[in-house]
Amino acid sequence: MIKKAIYYDTETTGTRPGKDRIIEIAAFMPGEEEKSFCTFTNPECPIPAESSAISGITDAMVSSAPLIKEALTSFLDFCSGKQVVLIAHNNDAFDRLFLEAEFQRAGLKMPTDWLFIDSLKWSRKYRSDLPRHSLQSLRELFKIPANQAHRALDDCMTLHEVFRRLTDDLSLDQILNLLSQNQKIVRMPFGKHAGKLLTEVPKDYFAWLSESGALDKPANAQLRETLKTLGIPL
């Protein structure tokens, strides 16, 4: 199946996946099928003033928004029918962890065949010549017109333009292969133990993943190899 890039972004009540909540999620799919997705979500808790100061999103703006289960169901529909490669800036340390935590909270299963790219890691690894690597710094360096920073859909659109310039004419497969080279996994990337150091995750959980076939999926091949190097029985 042909891989399809989808740029996505989340705005949240804070920085702690599993404790803080998503209040906006957006995605942008470029190309001939170009389309976008964006929704507020009601976090069922007050938005801290410091979070509103960054995103501009207030309690009033999300009061009548869908709950996270409805929002994620719509997000799943948007991403369906293709080999999804989800791209976010600081994905591995932020957006993906929030996505996994909210899927678990909503009682939904996040597709195990989704692939992810962290554009921040790419920039730091392959464009070390650049002085700064934040999304807005890269936007300025590449002279991309400004939009509303720290709003989910605007950040998706900016990231699309930034990532095109960071990767030139490389294909998604080439990008994924380059990122997988010599990349070490130290934290659990998904599931109920997402974000924990691999050494802190119960070994019977890894055994269960192995028995269920989850570690046989292409997206989890690197995790399986890492567990082998740590001597964790599967």
Mind listing the pLDDT tens digit for each residue in 66-108? 999 999 999 999 999 878 999 999 999 899 999 999 999 999 9
Active site residue 150: yes
**Average pLDDT of the residues of the chain:** 91
Predicted pLDDT of residue 167: 94
Predicted pLDDT of residue 223: 84
Residues 34-75 have pLDDT tens digits of: 999 999 999 999 999 999 999 999 999 999 999 999 999 999
pTM of the model: 0.77
Q: Where would I find the beta strands (DSSP E) of the chain?
A: 3-12, 22-29, 35-40, 83-88, 115-118
Check pLDDT > 70 for residue 218. no
Q: For the chain, what percent of residues have pLDDT higher than 90? A: 65
Return d(Cα 78, Cα 28) in angstroms, integer.
Answer: 10
**Active-site pick, 89, 133, 150, 193:** 150
**Residue 112 in tokens:** 């195990």
Residue 81: CB atoms within 10 A of its CB come to 10
Predicted pLDDT of residue 126: 86
Residues in the chain: 234
pLDDT grade, residue 33 (50/70/90)?
Answer: confident
3-state secondary structure at position 1 = coil
pLDDT grade, residue 219 (50/70/90)?
Answer: low
Phi and psi, residue 135, nearest 5°: -60, -45
Return d(Cα 147, Cα 132) in angstroms, integer.
Answer: 19
Residue spans of the domains in the chain: they are 3-183, 184-234
Question: Which CATH number is 3-183 given?
Answer: 3.30.420.10
Q: How many helices (H) and strands (E) does the chain have?
A: 10, 5
